Amino acid sequence: MNVYRQIEPPSISAEEQARRRYAIDFARGSVRMEGFVLDTDTEALFADYVAGKLDRAALNSAILEYCGVAAA
């Protein structure tokens, strides 16, 4: 059975996605240089940020919540 789903366009421009991807890749590299690897839950949050599902404030809040730190 062929099922087609409508793919929603990203809510941000391709340029903004590229900027976000670059920033996340840079952060990931920095973490790896310190000897750590991001877990799949954190990577999923970053993917949502790059896709435009989260803005910077929502990403920060989600990361703090995931780490068990109260957002200020």
C-alpha radius of gyration, the chain, whole number: 15
pLDDT in tens, 14-47: 999 999 999 999 999 999 999 999 999 999 999 9
Instruction: Tell me what pLDDT residue 54 has.
Output: 94
> Using an 8 Å Cβ cutoff, are 23 and 60 in contact?
no
**Does the pLDDT of residue 72 top 80, yes or no?**
no
> Using an 8 Å Cβ cutoff, are 10 and 17 in contact?
yes
**Does the pLDDT of residue 1 top 90, yes or no?**
no
Question: What average pLDDT does the chain have?
Answer: 88
Kindly list the domain boundaries of the chain, sorted by start residue. Answer: 21-67
d(CA 33, CA 42): 17
